Amino acid sequence: MQFAQVIGQDPLKEKLRSLYQQNRISHALMLVAREGTGGLPLALAFAQYLVCEKVNGSAEPNVNSLFGSTTQTDQTIQTNQTESCGVCPPCKKAAEFVHPDIHYSFPTVSRKDLDKPKCSDFITEWRTFLHEQPYGNLFDWIERIKERENSQGKITTHECEDINKKLSRKSFESPFKILILWMPEMLEKEGNKLLKIIEEPPSDTLFILVAENEQAVLPTIHSRCQVIRLPMLTKSETEAALLEREGTTSTLANQIASIADGNYREALQQLQHAEEGFQERLRDWLNAILKTGPAAQVKWVDEISKLGREKQKQFLRYVIHVLETAIRIQATGEMPPVGEEEAAIAAKLNRIVGIEQLEALTREMDKCTYYIERNANAKMLFHALTLKAYHVIQDKVVLLMSSETE
């Protein structure tokens, strides 16, 4: 993967290039990136940049060490390359995730045929995942490899032992070895087996950790890393990526970018389900609350509870987007750039509730999303949400909603 394939994050791309060119790369980097911001793609692109022959001059004699030499520790590496060439043999191997000096570590699950699961047992699925879903999250990955419904991802003690073994060997082709460790927060006490090699790595070895939840990373590992935090993508970056990569219309790209809130993985999910009738589902829900009564509400709850967790979360994010549209219209008197259907629903909501009620509904949608992520019973959750929404809309109740969140 090349830097050009990473959405946005231009300042951080330049920072990584400068760290290499100035010979100031720490032996352990931690990219802290919230879901959908591109932490893993950026790590992949940086790894390819480092192994590229035109960048590191490995095709020429007298190659400088990645971390300097004993006699010239501050020497600047001379290269004008701002991107991996993409055509040399190391680049081609890195692009296919088969470079022998770029290693990958990631959460795995238990299987009947694996007594001691390691990442090498899942490498074929991992390469497919990187090709198809580089912006995917842990849920997407575990869905690909799980056998049981409640499988939990984990970086095992056997994997930690394998990491120590792989990195103790000499590099095959490049001047150095790279380990990309995705989701280090999935390391528990097993991670202590990596402390020595992270603190005192073999020569020319680079660790690139990619974390979503910085606080969940073992403090002993966190303290040994140079931390680089990725910002959320801007709305314009998300919109441009949807137009260029997915071929969406400008109207749909604008709408989805507004909902995604800087999360490109969420943008792709919204695009995938753009034709699944979220507008109609929301309209049916509001009609059940305002007009058709309890029987329609029960039917609606039964239908949405049968959807998967991801679709339920996407629907709630869509509702939040519509509610925020309605709040913006009331607050500013201006119509934001949204689709006709969303504008119509927002206008109808503004005729029957005020900003306080809209804000209360938005808080409840956020809470519902939180509980879905923690495997709450969907039918009970959406039934409670429907009752609360009824009281907010019909009875103009706000304290009932806000007291639970404060």
The answer to whether 238 touches 59, Cβ cutoff 8 Å, is: no
pLDDT of residue 346: 86
What is the percent of the chain where pLDDT is above 90?
29
Average pLDDT of the residues of the chain: 84
The answer to whether 376 touches 382, Cβ cutoff 8 Å, is: no
Instruction: Find the mean pLDDT for residues 50-67.
Output: 66
Residue of higher predicted confidence among 70 and 155: 155
Give, in degrees to the nearest 5, the angle at Cα 391 between 390 and 392: 95
- Whether the per-residue pLDDT at 308 is higher than 90: the answer is no
pLDDT digits (tens, 9 = 90+) for 13-35: 999 998 888 888 888 999 999 99
CATH assignment, 3-231:
3.40.50.300
pLDDT of residue 234: 92
Instruction: Find the mean pLDDT for residues 336-357.
Output: 80
CA distance 13 to 211: 17
Give me the sheet containing 226-229, strands edge to edge. 102-105, 177-182, 205-211, 28-32, 226-229
Instruction: Find the mean pLDDT for residues 274-281.
Output: 72
Instruction: Find the mean pLDDT for residues 227-241.
Output: 92
* H-helix or E-strand spanning residue 130: helix 123-132
- Whether the per-residue pLDDT at 65 is higher than 60: the answer is no
Q: At the topology level of CATH, where does 273-402 sit?
A: Zinc Finger, Delta Prime; domain 3 (1.20.272)
The answer to whether 228 touches 30, Cβ cutoff 8 Å, is: yes
Between 221-225, 268-272, 274-278, the lowest mean confidence (pLDDT) is in 274-278
Q: What does residue 111 show for φ and ψ, rounded to 5 degrees?
A: -135, 160
What is the percent of the chain where pLDDT is above 70?
88
pLDDT of residue 231: 93
Amino acid 179 reads L
pLDDT of residue 150: 61
Instruction: Residue 151: count other Cβ atoms within 10 Å of its Cβ.
Output: 16
Q: Which residue has the tokens 């969140």?
A: 405
Instruction: Find the mean pLDDT for residues 197-203.
Output: 84
CA distance 394 to 371: 25
Dihedral, CA atoms, 151, 153, 7, 89, nearest 10 degrees? -110
Annotated domain spans of the chain: 3-231, 273-402
pLDDT digits (tens, 9 = 90+) for 143-199: 888 876 666 788 888 898 899 988 888 888 888 899 999 999 988 787 888 888 888
Between 154-163, 236-245, 277-286, 383-392, the lowest mean confidence (pLDDT) is in 277-286
Instruction: Find the mean pLDDT for residues 200-209.
Output: 88
The answer to whether 257 touches 242, Cβ cutoff 8 Å, is: yes
Structure tokens at 318: 């869509």
Q: Which residue has the tokens 């419904």?
A: 149
Residue of higher predicted confidence among 64 and 406: 64
Instruction: Find the mean pLDDT for residues 360-383.
Output: 89
Number of H helices and number of E strands within the chain?
Answer: 19, 5
Structure tokens at 89: 């043999």
pLDDT digits (tens, 9 = 90+) for 103-112: 999 999 887 7
